[in-house]
Amino acid sequence: MSLDALDRATMIDVQHVDFFYGTRQALADVSAEITEHRITALIGPSGCGKSTFLRCLNRMNDTIPGARLQGQVLLDGQSIYTPHTDVVSLRRRVGMVFQRPNPFPQSVFDNVAFGPRVVGTDRNIDLSQVVEASLKAVDLWDEVKDNLRQDALRLSLGQQQRLCIARVLAVKPQVILMDEPCSALDPISTLKIEELMRMLEREYTIVIVTHNMQQAARVSDYTGFFWLDAQRSGVLVEFDDTAAIFTRPQDARTEDYITGRFG
Amino acid sequence: MGKNKPAASRADRAVEALLRVAGLSTIGMVVLIFVFLLQQGLPVFFRVPLRDFLGTRWYPTEGYYGALPLILGSLLVTVVAVVVAVPLGICTAVFVRELAPGWVRELLKPAIEVLAGIPSVVLGFLGMTVIAPWVRTTLGAPTGLTALTGAVILAYMALPTIISVAEDALDAVPKSLRDASLAMGATRWQTIWKVTVPAARSGIVTAIMLGMGRAIGETMAVMMVTGNAARMPLTADSLFRPVRTITATIAAEMGEVANGSTHYQALFALGILLFLVTFLINLTAASAIFAKRRQGGLR
């Protein structure tokens, strides 16, 4: 591990995780440490378990019938897979941004206010202040401030995705999971999201799944490379500083993948 | 081959023409029915002024054609039926779509469709023999054949429509919205009532309108259980007294009137009114569907 890792705490510690959809094993013995206030990128070909891994971190896989996990996932040193774990409060701490922008068919304001209003516990919160701060944090405020009542679905896809990030920020999570957040967006919107991630890194821990290796190289501090093993289960082949992964990969498969020899 | 080709295209043209005739004749029928209603019903206003037609006494044998008790009777029974059916229907739709385990859903959906297929006369039996005595003994009404009895039966007739249309609307809400809500730490309950149901609201409004259209036009069961007294349902206890609806009046009296008489024309005028009301309700429901289609997808 790099020197940088020494003075930064581990936010999420994943230890020997096996994950199953019914009888099919989707992840085999995956271990990784997600460092706080850093951006961790997960790369690899389609179907190798990157998204499954990501959804293990906020237990979104719980919504899939037959899904099962073995191993340990620690958030701030606490296991999130105990029978007593409050999944609802876990997800407030670990927010998620999805592949396709999925704003609610409500106004811009109501989208951002959803978290504090529905999920929040603080009854005396100043909603308009939270909405403004969240929209400013994703650099969307100037574009929508004159018409916060407009239907969120009228925004462009790029704006919608930033709105979805703002919606997550309004709940004040510690970690933000992003599942290919730019795959539905044009290059300019993609660039905006990447700049945004760099800004958010100061206050949040970010884990991003991406198909785009350049994106991983551009924005992330750490990179994990997923691959399928002989049993067609996802394994984490290599996990290191992004610079190390892209300049001197230790595993032949990583090198082949990032140099474009397959995938 | 060369011989078959023109023959095939001639057959194509014939089928196309046939389908066009079939399609257009449906519209033609509706128009014709309406024209027929107007032709038979409108002349009543030459004999009975509109003011008298909206009077409070319906007593055709004495020359009183005040339809207000019938209009209000229909309104009372329908509104109460909708008030009963809407919460029940929406909750059932939410249960079937969002909460029920797979095998329960597989059992419930056909059961709801069977409920829709029960002939209204059979529901009338149920109303007369089960609900009416219950209303009389438990609620202390002088007779069991009341507006409430009719409303309860009508509610059950409107339920299948409301449930299946509302369920389709919930089904059309993308999973990504539920995921977004759950991923923010909303509970399943919060996700249903704050995200899924609001996202499906125009479809749910359509469901309510269609259920209402079904209720207001229903005749047989209503005639069997509402007691059919043409009184003004304006007192506080009207729900527990007999009423007479527009539909029941037409069905009961049509067989006994002389063709072309004032009474005959008055019944047709009631028919026009009923036609217009159901047309308006269905139009509202349809416009909600079309508005949503334009925005891309029925929700």
Query: Which tens digits make up the pLDDT trace of A128-176?
Result: 999 999 999 998 999 999 999 999 999 999 999 999 999 999 999 999 9
Q: Does B288 touch chain A (CB under 8 A)?
A: no
What string of pLDDT tens digits covers the 299 residues of chain B?
Answer: 445 556 668 889 999 999 999 999 999 999 999 999 999 999 999 999 988 999 899 998 888 999 999 999 999 999 999 999 999 999 999 999 999 988 999 999 999 989 888 898 999 999 999 999 998 888 888 888 999 999 999 999 999 999 999 999 999 999 999 999 999 989 999 999 999 999 998 889 999 999 998 899 889 899 999 988 888 888 888 889 999 999 999 999 999 999 989 999 999 999 999 999 999 988 888 887 776 655 544 43
- Going by C-alpha positions, the residue among A186, A187, A226, A200 that lies closest to residue A136 is A200
- Among the partner-chain residues B180, B185, B299, the one whose CB lies closest to the CB of A102 is B180
Q: What is the DSSP letter of B226?
A: S
Q: Which of chain A's residues have a Cβ under 8 Å away from the Cβ of B174?
A: 102
For residue A141, being part of any structural domain is answered with no
List the structure tokens of B145.
């054949």
Cα–Cα distance list, A236 to A5, A225, A227 (Å): 19, 6, 6
Spatial distance between the Cα atoms of B292 and B272, rounded to a whole number of angstroms: 30
Q: Parse chain B into domains and list their residue ranges.
A: 12-41, 46-294
Residues in chain B: 299
pLDDT at residue A119 greater than cutoff 80 = no
* Degrees, nearest 5: CA angle B129-B134-B137: 125
- The residue among A99, A107, A119 with the most chain B CBs within 10 A of its CB, best to mutate, is A119
pLDDT at residue A202 greater than cutoff 80 = yes
A222 close to A242: Cβ distance less than 8 angstroms: yes
Count of Cβ atoms closer than 10 Å to residue B252 Cβ: 14
Domain count of the fold of chain A: 1
Output A244-251 pairs: Cβ under 8 A, ≥24 positions apart. A244/A2, A246/A213, A246/A217, A249/A225, A251/A225
Q: What is the DSSP letter of B195?
A: I
Spatial distance between the Cα atoms of A65 and A107, rounded to a whole number of angstroms: 32
pLDDT confidence of residue B10: 86
Spatial distance between the Cα atoms of B23 and B72, rounded to a whole number of angstroms: 37
Contact B183 A100 (CB under 8 A): no
- Among the partner-chain residues A58, A89, A98, the one whose CB lies closest to the CB of B180 is A98
For domain B46-294, the question of CATH label 1.10.3720.10 is answered with: yes
Contact B180 A91 (CB under 8 A): no
Spatial distance between the Cα atoms of A102 and A171, rounded to a whole number of angstroms: 17
Computed from CA positions of residues B41, B47, B50, B56, in that sequence, does the dihedral angle turn out positive or negative? negative
- The residue among A90, A112, A114 with the most chain B CBs within 10 A of its CB, best to mutate, is A114
What amino acid is encoded at A58 in this protein? N
For residue A116, being part of any structural domain is answered with no
Q: Which of chain B's residues have a Cβ under 8 Å away from the Cβ of A88?
A: 185-187
Phi, psi of B288 (to 5 degrees): -65, -40
Which ipTM did the prediction report? Answer: 0.88
For residue A164, being part of any structural domain is answered with no
> If you average pLDDT over residues A200-220, what whole number do you get?
92
- Going by C-alpha positions, the residue among B45, B22, B8 that lies closest to residue B270 is B45
For residue A142, being part of any structural domain is answered with no
For residue A251, being part of any structural domain is answered with yes
> Across the beta sheet with A234-241, what order do the strands follow?
A78-79, A67-75, A10-21, A24-35, A234-241, A222-228, A39-43, A205-209, A175-179, A94-97
For residue A159, being part of any structural domain is answered with no
List the structure tokens of B204.
């749910």
pLDDT at residue A30 greater than cutoff 50 = yes
Q: Which of chain A's residues have a Cβ under 8 Å away from the Cβ of B180?
A: 98, 102-104, 164, 167
- Domain range for residue A249? 3-105+175-258
For residue A225, being part of any structural domain is answered with yes
Contact B194 A114 (CB under 8 A): yes
CATH number of the domain where residue A207 is located: 3.40.50.300
